[in-house]
C-alpha cells in the first residue's frame, strides 16, 4: 500500500448523530435528579485501565527500539516487517528555488481540494496561492471510475479557468499537477500508481488494478482540460515536502488526524531493497505506513474488543491506539463497562446511546478534558447532549480521568514512535539527527486540536531523549502543508526543463 497514509480503513463506522443530539442546550438537570455513581465499583476498573495503559519510560523505550528495528526489517525486503516502508519515488526535496505555476489536487475523502501556487524562487517564494474545496456528490462514490474522474477533471478545469492575477503560465505549456491520493496505492513511479482498493465508503467500479494517474490524465483529456499529473504523492510525503520548502532541517513528517502515518528522509544506501533500482539520488523519502506497527504496545481488553469487531482485525494496531478515529471509541467502551458493572451512572444503568459503536468521538473527549470548572459543567453538557447521560460530579471526574488515560497513552506512544524513527536515522549517520537541529513536521486534526495529547507526545520525546538532545528536536505544526508540498513535487518533477 502506498499513497494511503493517514486514512484509516474503517471510517464508514462513523455514526451520524441526529440533529436533536447536537449540543444545543444545557441539560436541565437538578441535583435531586442526578444519579449517583457507585465509586466502589468504578475504582477497580479505573485502576486496571491505568495499569494496562501505563507508558513508563521502559515501555516507551521498547516501543522506540521496536519501531527502529521494524523499520530496518521493512527496508531489507518487501514484507519483512509490519512496516511496509514504501519507496515514494520522491528523491529530490524542495530547495526554495522552484519557479512557476503549479497545481495540486488532494483526493482522500468526501471532499477534494484543488490548489494553485505561483512560485517565485528563493527571493520571492510563494507569490500567490489559491484553493477551492469541492464536495463529491454521494452518487459518484458508487459510480464508475470514468464518471468519478470526469467530475474531478471537470472541477479542475473550471478551477484552472479562473486563473488570473498573479498566476502566470508560459505560452504553450501544459499545467502540471501534484496529485495527493489518499487511498491504498502501489506506487510504480513518481507519476504512476496502481489502486489496490477503494476505502472510506468509496465503491467506484473499474479503478482497482488501474493506474490512478492514467485514469485522471485520460479524464482530463476527455474533458478538454489541458493539465497533466507530474507527481503522485502520499499525504505525509506532501507534508514533508511542504515543510522542507521553508526549513532545511525538516527530516520527518507525521500525520495525526483520523488515521496516522509517518515518512522520513532516508539514505538510498541504507535501503537494501532499493538495490535493484539504481537510484541516482543519495536520498529518498520513505513512507513508513507506521499505523501497522504493533510490537510491544500496552493494550487493554477494550482495544482487543474494538479490534476484533473492526473490519480489519489484527491490522493497524498502532493507528487504533493513537489516532483520532479511535480514541473516543476506546473511551466509550470503557464507559460502557463501568456503567454496566461499576455503577458509573447509577445501578447498572447503561445509557442506550452509549452502546452504539463510535458514538463518542475524539473531539468530544477532547472537549471534556478542556473543562476547568469546579463542577465540570462542560463534561456534564457533553455527556448529556451526546448520550442523554445524567451524571454526578464523581462520575464526571471519572469520565475525565478515562479520557486523560487514553489520550496520554496515545500521545506518549506517538512520541515514542517519532523517537524510534529519529533513533534509526541517527544510528546510520552519527550526529546527523541529534547533533544538530532536526525538525519533525506535524499535521492532522488530532495534533492540532488536542492540547493534552500534544503535551503528552512532547513529554515522551523529552523523557526518551533527555533534556539536552531533545532541545535539538523541534516538533512543528505544519498546517495543510501537504497541498503546497504536492505542488512543489510537481515542480521538481516537471517535464519541462528547469534548474531548481
Site for Mg ion in 255-314 (CB under 5 A): 257
449 binds ligand ADP (CB under 6 A): yes
Q: Considering CB distances under 5 to 8 angstroms, the limit depending on partner class, which of ligand ADP, Mg ion, none binds residue 324?
A: ligand ADP
Cβ 111 to ligand ADP shortest distance, Å: 10
Q: Which residues carry out catalysis?
A: 200, 235
Site for ligand ADP contains 407 (CB under 6 A): no
Between residues 350 and 379, which has the closer beta carbon with respect to ligand ADP? 379
Q: Does 445 bind ligand ADP (CB under 6 A)?
A: yes
Closest to Mg ion by CB, 7 vs 294, is: 7
Number of residues that bind Mg ion (CB under 5 A): 1
Q: Give Rg (Cα) of the chain.
A: 24
Tell whether residue 366 is a contact of ligand ADP (CB under 6 A): yes
Q: Closest residue to Mg ion, Cβ-based?
A: 257
Residue of the chain from 223, 239, 310, 362 that contacts ligand ADP (CB under 6 A):
362
C-alpha cell at 113: 481540494
Is residue 183 a contact residue for ligand ADP (CB under 6 A)?
no
What's the per-residue H, E or C state across the chain? Answer: CCCCCCCCCCHHHCCCCCHHHCCCCCCCCCHHHCCCCCHHHHHHHHHHHHHHHCCCHHHHHHHHHHHHHHHHHHHHCCCCCCCCCEECCCCCCCCCCCEEEEEEEEECCCEEEEEEEEEEHHHHCEEEEEEEEEECCHHHHHCEHHHHHHHHHHHHHHHHHCCCCCCCCCCCCCEEEEEEECCCEEEEECCEEEECCCCCCCCCECCCCCEHHHHHHHHHHHCCCCEEEEEEECHHHHHHHHHHHHCCCEEEEEEECCCEEEEEEEEHHHCHHHCCCCCCCCEEEEECCHHHCCCCCCCCHHHHHHHHCCCCCCCCHHHHHHCHHHHHHHHHHHHHHHHHHHCCCCCCCCCHHHHCCCCCCHHHHHHHHCCCCCCCHHHHHHHHHHHCCCCCHHHHHHHHHHHHHHHHHHHHHHHHHHHHHHHHHHHHCCCCCCCCCEEEEEECHHHHHCHHHHHHHHHHHHHHHHHHHHCCEEEEECCCHHHHHHHHHHHHCCCCCCCC
C-beta of residue 297 within 8 angstroms of C-beta of residue 329: no
Q: Which does 446 bind (CB under 5 to 8 A by kind): ligand ADP, Mg ion, none?
A: ligand ADP
Q: Does 325 bind ligand ADP (CB under 6 A)?
A: yes
- CB nearer to Mg ion: give 141 or 299: 141
Quick one: what does residue 363 bind among ligand ADP, Mg ion, none, with the CB cut-off 5 to 8 Å set by partner type?
Answer: ligand ADP
Tell which residue, 262, 263, 268, has the closest CA to residue 283. Answer: 268
Q: Lay out the site mask for Mg ion across 231-260 (x = CB under 5 A, - = otherwise).
A: --------------------------x---
Task: Decide which of Mg ion, ligand ADP, none touches 258; Cβ closer than 5 to 8 Å per partner kind.
Answer: ligand ADP
Q: Which stretch binds ligand ADP (CB under 6 A): 80-88, 335-343, 389-397, 443-451?
A: 443-451
Please report whether residue 324 would count as binding ligand ADP according to CB under 6 A. yes
- Here's the x/- map for ligand ADP, 1-20, by CB under 6 A: it reads as -----x--------------
**CB of 200 or CB of 424, closer to ligand ADP:** 200
Span interacting with ligand ADP, options 32-40, 359-367, 376-384, 415-423, rule CB under 6 A: 359-367
Question: Does 357 contact ligand ADP by CB under 6 A?
Answer: no
450 binds, among Mg ion, ligand ADP, none (CB under 5 to 8 A by kind): ligand ADP
Contact code string over 227-256 relative to ligand ADP, x by CB under 6 A: ------------------------------
Contact residues: ligand ADP, CB under 6 A? 6, 109, 257-259, 324-325, 362-363, 366, 444-446, 449-450
Contact residues: Mg ion, CB under 5 A? 257
Amino acid at each position: 500500500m502506498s499513497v494511503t497514509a493517514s486514512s484509516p480503513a474503517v471510517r464508514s463506522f462513523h455514526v451520524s448523530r441526529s440533529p436533536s443530539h447536537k449540543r444545543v442546550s444545557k441539560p436541565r438537570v437538578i441535583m435531586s435528579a442526578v444519579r449517583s455513581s457507585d465509586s466502589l465499583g468504578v475504582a477497580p476498573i479505573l485502576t486496571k485501565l491505568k495499569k494496562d495503559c501505563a507508558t513508563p519510560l521502559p515501555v516507551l523505550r521498547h516501543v522506540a527500539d521496536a519501531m527502529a528495528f521494524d523499520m530496518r526489517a521493512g527496508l531489507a525486503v518487501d514484507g519483512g516487517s509490519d512496516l511496509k516502508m514504501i519507496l515514494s519515488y520522491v528523491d529530490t526535496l524542495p530547495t526554495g528555488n522552484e519557479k512557476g505555476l503549479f497545481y495540486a489536487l488532494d483526493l482522500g475523502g468526501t471532499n477534494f481540494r484543488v490548489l494553485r501556487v505561483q512560485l517565485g524562487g528563493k527571493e520571492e517564494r510563494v507569490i500567490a496561492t489559491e484553493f477551492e474545496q469541492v464536495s463529491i456528490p454521494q452518487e459518484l462514490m458508487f459510480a464508475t471510475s470514468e464518471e468519478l474522474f470526469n467530475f474531478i477533471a471537470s472541477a479542475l478545469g473550471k478551477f484552472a479557468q479562473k486563473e488570473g492575477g498573479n498566476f502566470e503560465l508560459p505560452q504553450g505549456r501544459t499545467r502540471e499537477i501534484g496529485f495527493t491520493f489518499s487511498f491504498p496505492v502501489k506506487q510504480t513511479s513518481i507519476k504512476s500508481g496502481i489502486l489496490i482498493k477503494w476505502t472510506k465508503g468509496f465503491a467506484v467500479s473499474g479503478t482497482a488494478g488501474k493506474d490512478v494517474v492514467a485514469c485522471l490524465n485520460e479524464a482530463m483529456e476527455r474533458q478538454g482540460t489541458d493539465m497533466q499529473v507530474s507527481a503522485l504523492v502520499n499525504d505525509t510525503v506532501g507534508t514533508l515536502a511542504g515543510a522542507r520548502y521553508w526549513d532545511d532541517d525538516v527530516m520527518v513528517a507525521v500525520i495525526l488526524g483520523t488515521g496516522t502515518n509517518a515518512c522520513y528522509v532516508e539514505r538510498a544506501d541504507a535501503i537494501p531493497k532499493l538495490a535493484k533500482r539504481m537510484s541516482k539520488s543519495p536520498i529518498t523519502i520513505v513512507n513508513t505506513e507506521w499505523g501497522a506497527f504493533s510490537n510491544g504496545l500496552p493494550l487493554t481488553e477494550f482495544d482487543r474488543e474494538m479490534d476484533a469487531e473492526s473490519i480489519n482485525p489484527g491490522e493497524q494496531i498502532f493507528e487504533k491506539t493513537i489516532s483520532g478515529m479511535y480514541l473516543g471509541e476506546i473511551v466509550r467502551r470503557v464507559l460502557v463497562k463501568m456503567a454496566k458493572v461499576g455503577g458509573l451512572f447509577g445501578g447498572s444503568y447503561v445509557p442506550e446511546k452509549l452502546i452504539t459503536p463510535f458514538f463518542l468521538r475524539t473531539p468530544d473527549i477532547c472537549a471534556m478534558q478542556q473543562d476547568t470548572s469546579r463542577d465540570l459543567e462542560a463534561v456534564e453538557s457533553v455527556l448529556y447532549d451526546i448520550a442523554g447521560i445524567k451524571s454526578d460530579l464523581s462520575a464526571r471526574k471519572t469520565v475525565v480521568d478515562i479520557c486523560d488515560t487514553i489520550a496520554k497513552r496515545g500521545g506518549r506512544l506517538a512520541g515514542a514512535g517519532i523517537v524510534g524513527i529519529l533513533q534509526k536515522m541517527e544510528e546510520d549517520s552519527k550526529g546527523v539527527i541529534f547533533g544538530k537541529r532536526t525538525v519533525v513536521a506535524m499535521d492532522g486534526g488530532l495534533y492540532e486540536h488536542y492540547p493534552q495529547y500534544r503535551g503528552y507526545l512532547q513529554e515522551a520525546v523529552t523523557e526518551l531523549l533527555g533534556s539536552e538532545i531533545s532541545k535539538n528536536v523541534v516538533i512543528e505544526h505544519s498546517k495543510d502543508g501537504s497541498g503546497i508540498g504536492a505542488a512543489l513535487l510537481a515542480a521538481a518533477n516537471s517535464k519541462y526543463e528547469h534548474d531548481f
